[in-house]
Structure 1
Amino acid sequence: MKTIQAYRFALDLTPSQERDVLSHAGAARVAHNWALARVRAVMDQRTAERSYGVPEELLTPSLSWSLAGLRKAWNQAKPDVAPWWGEVSKEAFNSGLDALARGLKNWADSHTGKRAGRPVGFPRFKSRRRTTPSVRFTTGAIRVEPDRMHVVLPRPGRLKLHESPRKLARRLEPGTARIMSATARRDGGRWHVAFTVEVDRAERAPARPRSVIGVDVGIKHLAVLSTGELIDNPRHLVTAQQRMRALGRALSRKTGPDRRTGRRASKRWERAAARLGRTHARVANLRRDGLQKLTTRIAREHGTVVVEDLNIICMLRNRRLARHIADAGFGEIRRQLADKTEWNGGRLVVADRWYPSSKTCSGCGTVKAKLALSEREYQCEACGLVVDRDRNAALNLAALAAQLDTAGSGPVAACGADQKTRARGQVAVKREPGTTPVGQTGTVPPQGGTTNQPCAH
């Protein structure tokens, strides 16, 4: 099975190497901003000509938004726009133009209704001081050295690694992996290189192929498993909040940049901003490490994993819980489980967001009409069951997998109530227990006749 996987390693660059990589990132930004200015100028010119009544065939020729079209226009203009273009790799300019081509396509698809999800805005110019330096290499000499201590990029050359790339080297040496691209990026004051690799993964099976586990994510506990295991929420952001506030106050007392007057930031301000950035990067690294270990263990041990399709965007509108929800990383847990269950030969079952996992009794199947978020214990009035709210939801998710026939459905299957968020002014219709919603076929309906609100959990 061939999959696309990323490997990310920290770099130890010398001052000259850092300037070289930073110049490549700056070249990508210059090409992006030039092409964006050209696209906007052509669009504004054509709009003005239409307002004057100019026929369509006489309008200014439009500029192609594809990568090939932007690259052709850049190659014609680069001797005048960037006379220093020979000092950096051509991949630097290609990186900036490719990012713009993707952004324009996403905006056009979202504007015309071809792209689902939240509306995508028109691409914006990249600031030299506020943009994260990044450059992507797709051709040329890209490899990991045999000593497993250095990597080679086309123009920067041989760069020392801060950590061993043995996991990637073990796949490259026997030929079971192929590097497709390498991206150098500066995060939290440290440079990293991320390799996009096509990996030929051997077929694997979970430790317990017939094991079914329900995973209910939350804030008090990061995850509650149907087996009864409670995964504590480390709350990395809350732990570092006091230090972040102190560093933020120290930063505000320094002389920062002013775009109106053109004032540049002081050296003390830059050092204080770097300290704050490193603190944020540490929080992100701790969160990423914990989620990777948790999802890897679940995917390797269990054959079927059941999670909920949470409306995280709506949940983040709760001002009291938004910070804690974002710190937990609910969406990242589901994304990683989707990839790792496929890699390990398992399957991921996604319960619909309207499935009443928290309101349903895991003992008798009775569904409560209302369940406040403050009620942390589920008390069934029909059978008298008293159980933790999250444990009850995890048990219901695990039981839901038995109702789904996944023959030929692929690694990720959706099940539960087939009901979308109703339009404004539309009246909700209650569904009787054991009936199939209108328009739903081929799936087993969940027990219970009420649905959760999109933000409730």
Structure 2
Amino acid sequence: MKRFQPQPGFVVQAFRFALDPNAAQERALRSHCGAARAAYNWAVGWVTASWWQRKAEATYGVIEADLTEWRPWSLPALRKAFNEVKHTDPRFASWWEANSKEAYNTGLANAAAAFDNYAKSQQGKRRGKRVAAPRFKSKRKARLSCRFTTGTIRVEPDGRHVTLPRLGTIRVHEPMGKLLARVQAGAARILSATARHERGRWFVSLQTETARDLVRVARPDAAVGIDLGVKILAVMADSTGEIRTILNPGPLDGALKLLRRASRTVSRRRGPDHRTGRKASKRWEKANTHRNRVHHRVANLRQDALHKLTTAVAAEYGTVVVEDLNVAGMLRNPRLARQIADAGFGEIRRQLAYRTRRNGCRVMAADRWFPSSKTCSGCGVVKAKLPLHVRTYECAACGLVIDRDDNAARNLAALAAACTTGTGVAGDQDTAKVSKPRGADRKTRATRHDRKVTAGRAGGATLPHQRQTETRDRTQAEALTLW
């Protein structure tokens, strides 16, 4: 085996494989994941205990200088405190030696990250929904996961087994020939391994530092706009005017009948009752396993469809433009929440982000308020209103009649084409996206009203690349975000 020599072209990449552990190995895996959960709960309780103590002392009239000191939540501080109490704490003293130290380090690292996210969210330094304080993880609901960063982590020479610390050699469900060849040739080095239980089986994810050459796309000068939908998963229009339609497989809709039947069977069995301590019957466990198998198949079918779509897009086009959809807000619609969740809009954007980086392409997100559906792709006139049930776009100015989704995809492709041809925001393509504090983009009521009136005026707006004024570059900079 050649010695690993990192080069400038090396990247961090994960290889995920399914495991086939025996009964003893599965018990050990569950023990390690349980140890990670126990360490996480200990860290949360240890840190928050000082919070409650300070709050109680303040009610007694204790001055600020005399209050109990804050306990730190950094990973080194949690490690030091845990190593001091694990020998004497009755929650760990009798069994902590049965698992690898990496199991406890996983829980402590997760707790440190949770407290950091909470602090940044409270200070307005973290985007997205406000994060609550870390809470204890339930034994019944916590995800089974454990990460190994030290010790013996290797792929066996036969390519069908992987060795993990304290767990030994575990058989892999699928061959690991590609990763093994890279490791033996000195083109890859394993950094860490994460064992996780998902969808009814165990997986191992090997994080490696490996050589990865830049794969050129088939059409580097072509741009494509992608309009996502429910019945039709994606409508893609490239810069040449060609339109492709990808139907939504709808794995959940196809399995609803089976799920209803399986759920009725489970409800008729004697299930567990955690309040009284009653255990589930064998027939309930068998029925619940069958129902879970249906859920796992739905998730696998959805994942397969999304991976195939994003792989095909990232391998063909040099520039991809998608909409900045408010998926969280769309899921609040009780009529469409299930279909939107089944389509996986957020997962498509996430996969496009990392896949295009591998091929040297660009992914741009159109502004959330860009009227891609209301704008005529022929003349650029913007309709005042276009209800969702109207699936055909009819332009009163030029007489264009086109499908609503096709029209939106063409408008997105026009934005991408304007940037790739040099008439757009060429100077902003290398600018990193800056994370803004909470509330930085919040508009007043008057601003929102003016924006709706301006965008809804017929003939009052055209596509950026169709304008012949000096404001063209500025408009495109506002409509597109490189990410």
Q: 1:434 to 1:232 in 2, by over 3 A?
A: closer
Q: Tell me how far 1:408 sits from its aligned partner.
A: 5.8
SS in 1 for 2:475: coil
Partner of 2:224: 213
Q: Distance in 2 between matches of 1:413 and 1:70?
A: 33
Q: Distance in 1 between matches of 2:24 and 2:463?
A: 69
1:89 aligns with 2:109: no
**Does the 8 Å CA contact 2:147/2:192 hold for their aligned counterparts?**
yes
CA deviations on 1:140-169 (whole Å, 9 max, x unpaired) are 111222211011111101110111223433
* Equivalent of 1:361 in 367, 376, 388: 376
Which amino acid is 1:300 matched to?
A: A
Partner of 2:54: 46
Q: 1:427 to 1:334 in 2, by over 3 A?
A: closer
Q: Distance in 1 between matches of 2:413 and 2:210?
A: 31
**Does the 8 Å CA contact 1:256/1:269 hold for their aligned counterparts?**
yes
Q: Tell me how far 1:314 sits from its aligned partner.
A: 1.0
Q: Distance in 2 between matches of 1:51 and 1:177?
A: 58
Which amino acid is 1:445 matched to?
A: T
SS in 2 for 1:12: coil
Q: Distance in 2 between matches of 1:168 and 1:60?
A: 52
1:128 aligns with 2:149: no
* Equivalent of 1:310 in 325, 338, 343: 325
Q: 1:421 to 1:253 in 2, by over 3 A?
A: farther
Q: Tell me how far 1:426 sits from its aligned partner.
A: 5.6
Which amino acid is 1:71 matched to?
A: R
Report 1:7-406 matches (<5 A): 7-81=15-89, 82-83=92-93, 84-226=95-237, 227-403=242-418, 404-406=424-426
SS in 2 for 1:244: helix
Q: Distance in 1 between matches of 2:416 and 2:194?
A: 39
Runs (4+) of structure 1 exceeding 6 A deviation are 411-414
**Does the 8 Å CA contact 2:190/2:208 hold for their aligned counterparts?**
yes
**Does the 8 Å CA contact 1:348/1:413 hold for their aligned counterparts?**
no
Q: Tell me how far 1:62 sits from its aligned partner.
A: 2.1
Q: Tell me how far 1:410 sits from its aligned partner.
A: 3.8
Q: Tell me how far 1:428 sits from its aligned partner.
A: 1.6
Q: 1:32 to 1:339 in 2, by over 3 A?
A: same
SS in 1 for 2:368: coil
CA deviations on 1:64-95 (whole Å, 9 max, x unpaired) are 11111111111111112312211110000001
TM-score by length of 2: 0.86
CA deviations on 1:385-440 (whole Å, 9 max, x unpaired) are 111111111111111013333346249889xxxx956345765214453799xxxx
Q: 1:408 to 1:195 in 2, by over 3 A?
A: farther
Which amino acid is 1:406 matched to?
A: A
* Equivalent of 1:428 in 444, 449, 452: 449
Q: Distance in 2 between matches of 1:219 and 1:235?
A: 9
Q: Tell me how far 1:324 sits from its aligned partner.
A: 0.6
Q: Distance in 1 between matches of 2:85 and 2:243?
A: 64
**Does the 8 Å CA contact 2:425/2:476 hold for their aligned counterparts?**
no
CA deviations on 1:44-73 (whole Å, 9 max, x unpaired) are 111111221223332223221111111111
Q: Tell me how far 1:264 sits from its aligned partner.
A: 2.8
- Greater mean alpha carbon deviation, residues 282-291 or residues 255-264: 255-264
**Does the 8 Å CA contact 1:214/1:394 hold for their aligned counterparts?**
yes
**Does the 8 Å CA contact 2:311/2:355 hold for their aligned counterparts?**
yes
TM-score by length of 1: 0.90
How many corresponding residue pairs?
Answer: 441
Partner of 1:455: none
- Greater mean alpha carbon deviation, residues 139-148 or residues 13-22: 139-148
Q: 1:394 to 1:258 in 2, by over 3 A?
A: same
Partner of 1:454: none
Q: Tell me how far 1:25 sits from its aligned partner.
A: 0.8
Which amino acid is 2:319 matched to?
A: T
Q: Distance in 1 between matches of 2:177 and 2:432?
A: 31
SS in 2 for 1:80: coil
Q: 1:64 to 1:347 in 2, by over 3 A?
A: same
Q: Tell me how far 1:443 sits from its aligned partner.
A: 4.5
CA deviations on 1:336-374 (whole Å, 9 max, x unpaired) are 111111111111121111111111111111111111111
Which amino acid is 1:356 matched to?
A: P
**Does the 8 Å CA contact 1:348/1:412 hold for their aligned counterparts?**
no
Q: Tell me how far 1:236 sits from its aligned partner.
A: 0.7
Q: Distance in 2 between matches of 1:407 and 1:76?
A: 55
CA deviations on 1:96-128 (whole Å, 9 max, x unpaired) are 111111111111111221111101122221222
